[in-house]
């Protein structure tokens, strides 16, 4: 699969050769990044659990996302909805339509199987751009509140504002 978005942007399946430049780009912007996360995504693709896409800008991999058959954590487990996982666009390439293009490919694929797609978004400021994009694209919280490390965060308890603090959202597809 390859979708040409414009003269600069192509969305295609994630390849092993994309890992090194993506990880280098994440490290250059100050993120703690290792190849293992993307290697795991490709292993899940090989096992038939997911599809992974890369955004390629002028020949350079600058973003990625995976679409899983269904979630393993959160309020949507067992409902038959696909889940968007690990969505990232390198910061210096944002505000060019890359994130929307990646999400669009996932939503189009999900729509061939169901009327709803789901995701979980982190709550700290590092996820701010994704939070805004999801709302602008029509994703709404599921109403279960925030989750901390795969469990509902009970009211009036202390939780760490790290990557494990998540709000689950869904979108009805046309």
Q: Read off the tokens for 61.
A: 């991999």
122 by Cβ neighbours in 10 Å (0-12 / 13-18 / 19+) ranks as middle
CB-based burial of residue 146 (10 Å sphere; 0-12 exposed, 13-18 middle, 19+ buried)?
middle
User: Is residue 135 within 8 Å of residue 82, measured between CB atoms?
Assistant: no
Residue with tokens 């046309």: 174
Neighbouring C-beta atoms of residue 96, cutoff 10 Å:
18
What's the predicted TM-score (pTM) here?
A: 0.94
- Per-residue pLDDT at 1: 85
Determine the pLDDT at residue 174: 83
Cβ distance 53 to 65 under 8 Å?
yes
Angle, alpha carbons 32-37-39 (nearest 5°): 135
Residue 166 is predicted with a pLDDT of 97
**pLDDT for the residue numbered 129:** 93
CA angle (90 as vertex; 11, 116 as ends), nearest 5: 55
| H or E element, residue 37 | helix 36-46
- Average pLDDT along the chain, 174 residues, taken 10 residues at a time: 94 98 96 95 97 98 97 94 97 96 98 97 94 97 95 94 96 94
């Amino acid at each position: 699969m390859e979708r040409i978005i414009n003269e600069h942007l192509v969305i295609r399946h994630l390849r092993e050769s994309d890992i090194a430049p993506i990880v280098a780009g994440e490290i250059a912007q100050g993120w703690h990044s290792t190849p293992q996360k993307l290697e795991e995504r490709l292993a899940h693709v090989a096992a038939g659990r997911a599809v992974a896409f890369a955004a390629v800008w002028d020949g350079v991999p600058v973003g990625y996302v995976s679409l899983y058959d269904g979630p393993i954590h959160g309020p949507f487990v067992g409902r038959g909805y696909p889940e968007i996982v690990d969505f990232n666009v390198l910061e210096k390439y944002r505000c060019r339509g890359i994130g929307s293009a990646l999400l669009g490919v996932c939503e189009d694929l999900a729509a061939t199987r169901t009327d709803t797609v789901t995701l979980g978004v982190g709550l700290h400021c590092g996820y701010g751009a994704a939070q805004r994009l999801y709302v602008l694209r029509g994703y709404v919280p599921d109403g279960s509140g925030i989750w901390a490390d795969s469990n509902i965060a009970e009211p009036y308890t202390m939780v760490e504002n790290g990557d494990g603090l998540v709000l689950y959202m869904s979108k009805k597809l046309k």
